[in-house]
Amino acid sequence: MRKTMSAVAACILAIGSLAIAQEKDTTALNSKKAPDFSLNTPDGKTLRLSDQKGKVVLLDLWATWCPPCRKSLPHLQSVSANKNLADKGLVVWAVNQQETPQVVQEFVRTNGYSFTVLMDSDGKMGQAYLVRGIPTTVIVGRDGTVSSVFIGFAAGSAKQLDDAVEKALAQK
């Protein structure tokens, strides 16, 4: 009886692990057309991804309460403020996940960030991008295809992101 229970438990564990392993995340979008979306800035201006065709778009999905996001945002600011990258066609959008415009505006102001913030108030953009954790950073190439995905932010992430941006900008 004990062996049977152990075998059943092992099967349940294996099936559960398989289900988790098969759950898709944002990396499943690599080399695929980026889902189009239209989102508002905290002050109400509407921006649409498909309007950026011909540019490289860096999408960073984040929240003010997320420690790894807070760690990654200064680098996002430096990439966004880099005029050389902008002149090559880089657009940077920080897509906030389901917080209020007031909370986001205060956070951005307090930290001196100048990047463009979009509000994914209902989380539908995050769902379309299969986001399972934040920060999630997606680089969309000039042709509208996802060229790179980064989940999380740790030592070495800034360099990897910079390299991926340069590679995407080099594509014509």
pLDDT of residue 14: 36
Q: Supply the DSSP string of 104-121, one letter for each residue.
A: HHHHHHHHT--SEEEEET
Global confidence as pTM: 0.86
The answer for 115, left when phi > 0, alpha when psi is -120 to 50, beta otherwise, is: beta
CB 171 within 8 A of CB 148: no
Distance CA 125, CA 7 (A): 41
Distance CA 18, CA 26 (A): 18
pLDDT tens series, the chain, 172 aa: 555 444 333 333 333 433 444 579 999 999 999 999 999 999 999 999 999 999 999 999 999 999 999 999 999 999 999 999 999 999 999 999 999 999 999 999 999 999 999 999 999 999 999 999 999 999 999 999 999 999 999 999 999 999 999 999 999 8
